[in-house]
């Protein structure tokens, strides 16, 4: 009798699990469905998208989270902005999914310029746009044309307002693609790490941070480009620091005079960089397959620019970090790197490198490869920051 009861209980439990699984699959397969995108527009998706045009190539990180087996599987064309920005990251994607080389690369800029006719000609069933495209699309001829053709347009964002929009964009795209469970899983991971970070540093002193964006991207004669109210500025404020450039820049980005930094030195100085595919670039080559010696050599040259030695940085060092977190669904790791550098004692147990590896292994199909995404160099020329 006990065996029968045990067998019946086991069968009943398995049946409930199977039913829940079927209900989940059914929910994922229910089309048409309507979502509200980042622009607060109601967008109806008639069927599972199979021919997607991706306007911002950096949003491939979202597809990598949701379409782990192959983030290129549903792409009919895209704007590959990753290749010139970070060739090491593109090489990793290309090696993992070689068919990515065959996908047409069609440009569509936030100004509205680009391969408009070809984008329409490829007959996409979904166009995923950066939120910064909205003014150009709705103010030009392309928006009404896409509406007449019945091509769905979806706005997402992980750059203009990363803290507010990254998780929501992953959720929206997950709903559109029928990948709600994967989206929720990653959003939970993101929120858990962000909440832990905030709990550790919420009552800490708020240092004045200057972040030089893409330091050396135009060579060694230029300094010091930064951001305000977007991207890195938002990530800095997201870890409760004060963004230096916000006090001076009227727009989203621009140059801060070196003389200003000399007159009012920041507490902490960050430089972002990737191995830009540009001959004149002297940016810090953070990325995959990069060694510390190359990074330190690049930082040494940038810190040797005329007048830089007169910037009396309170922390006594410069901190470098990969630029790719500026427009990435992985930006939670960028915030961890920022916070760890700002509060090394409070966050002694935090390892952004390990968390990045966990993110890649758990949520994507990308392989684990050696990488270097951050480094420090003292004003005295030694690696690292003073204790």
Phi, psi of 107 (to 5 degrees): -90, 140
Rounded mean pLDDT, 271-294 = 90
Q: Give the pLDDT band of residue 277 (cuts 50, 70, 90).
A: low
Tokens 């595919």 belong to: 277
Tokens 């007959």 belong to: 123
| Percent of the chain surpassing pLDDT 90 | 82
Question: Whose CA is closest to 320, among 345, 290, 283?
Answer: 283
Residues 13, 142: Cα–Cα separation, whole Å: 53
Phi, psi of 342 (to 5 degrees): -80, -30
Considering the segment(s) 205-378 as one domain, its CATH architecture is 3-Layer(aba) Sandwich (3.40)
Q: Give the pLDDT band of residue 22 (cuts 50, 70, 90).
A: very low
pLDDT at position 114: 86
Predicted confidence (pLDDT) at residue 8 exceeds the cutoff of 50: no
Residues 258 and 223: beta-carbon distance below 8 Å = yes
| Percent of the chain surpassing pLDDT 70 | 92
pLDDT at position 142: 84
Phi, psi of 272 (to 5 degrees): -100, 155
Phi, psi of 155 (to 5 degrees): -95, 135
Residues 246, 231: Cα–Cα separation, whole Å: 12
Residues 286 and 320: beta-carbon distance below 8 Å = yes
Torsional sign, CA 36, 37, 42, 43: negative
Residues 206 and 241: beta-carbon distance below 8 Å = yes
Mind giving me the DSSP string for 261-305?
HHHS--SEEEEEE---S-TT------EET--HHHHHHHHHHHHTS
Residues 268 and 341: beta-carbon distance below 8 Å = yes
Residues 323, 64: Cα–Cα separation, whole Å: 19
Specify the DSSP element, H or E, that contains 377. Answer: strand 374-378
What residues contact 188, with CB distance under 8 A and at least 6 apart?
none
Rounded mean pLDDT, 7-32 = 46
Mind giving me the DSSP string for 39-74?
TS-EEEE-S---SEEESSGGGHHHHHHHSTT-TTTT
Question: Per residue in 148-176, pLDDT tens?
Answer: 999 999 999 999 999 999 999 999 999 99
Tokens 């480009």 belong to: 225
58: left (phi over 0), alpha (psi -120 to 50) or beta: alpha
Q: CATH 3.40.50.1980 in the chain: give the residue spans.
A: 27-190, 205-378
How many CB atoms lie under 10 A from the CB of residue 121?
A: 11
Strands 317-322 and 268-273: parallel
Question: Per residue in 206-242, pLDDT tens?
Answer: 999 999 999 999 999 999 999 998 899 999 999 999 9
Q: Is the pTM of this model over 0.85?
A: yes
- C-alpha distances out from residue 98 to 214, 315, 371, Å: 29, 44, 21
CATH 3.30.750.200, applies to 27-190? no
């Amino acid at each position: 009798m006990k065996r029968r009861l045990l067998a019946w209980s086991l069968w009943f439990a398995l049946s409930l699990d199977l039913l829940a699984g079927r209900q989940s699959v059914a929910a994922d397969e229910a089309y048409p469905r309507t979502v509200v995108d980042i622009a607060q527009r109601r967008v109806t998706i008639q069927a599972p998208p199979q021919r997607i045009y991706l306007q911002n190539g950096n949003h491939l990180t979202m597809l990598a989270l949701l379409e782990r087996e192959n983030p290129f599987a549903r792409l009919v064309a895209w704007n590959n902005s990753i290749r010139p920005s970070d060739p090491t990251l593109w090489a990793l994607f290309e090696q993992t999914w070689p068919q990515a080389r065959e996908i047409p690369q069609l440009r569509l800029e936030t100004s509205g310029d680009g391969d408009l006719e070809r984008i329409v000609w490829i007959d996409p069933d979904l166009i995923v746009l950066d939120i910064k495209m909205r003014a150009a699309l709705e103010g030009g001829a392309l928006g009404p044309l896409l509406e007449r053709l019945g091509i769905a347009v979806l706005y997402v964002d992980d750059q203009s307002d990363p803290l507010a929009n990254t998780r929501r964009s992953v959720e929206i795209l997950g709903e559109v693609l029928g990948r709600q469970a994967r989206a929720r899983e990653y959003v939970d991971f993101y929120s858990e790490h962000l909440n832990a970070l905030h709990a550790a540093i919420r009552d800490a002193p708020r240092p004045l941070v200057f972040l030089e964006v893409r330091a050396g991207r135009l060579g060694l004669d230029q300094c010091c480009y930064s951001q305000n109210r977007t991207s890195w500025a938002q990530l800095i404020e997201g870890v409760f620091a004060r963004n230096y450039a916000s006090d001076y820049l009227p727009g989203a980005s621009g140059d801060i005079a070196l003389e200003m930094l000399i007159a009012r030195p920041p507490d902490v100085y960050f430089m972002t960089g990737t191995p830009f595919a540009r001959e004149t670039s002297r940016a810090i080559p953070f990325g995959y397959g990069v060694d510390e010696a190359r990074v330190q050599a690049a930082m040494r040259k940038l810190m040797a620019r005329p007048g830089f030695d007169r910037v009396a940085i309170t922390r006594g060092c410069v901190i470098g970090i990969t630029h790719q977190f500026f427009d990435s669904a992985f930006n939670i790791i960028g915030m961890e790197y920022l916070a760890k550098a700002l509060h090394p004692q409070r966050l002694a147990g935090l390892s952004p490198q390990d968390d990045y590896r966990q993110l890649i292994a758990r949520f994507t199909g990308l392989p684990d490869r050696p990488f270097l995404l951050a480094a420090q160099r003292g004003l005295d020329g030694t690696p690292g920051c003073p204790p």
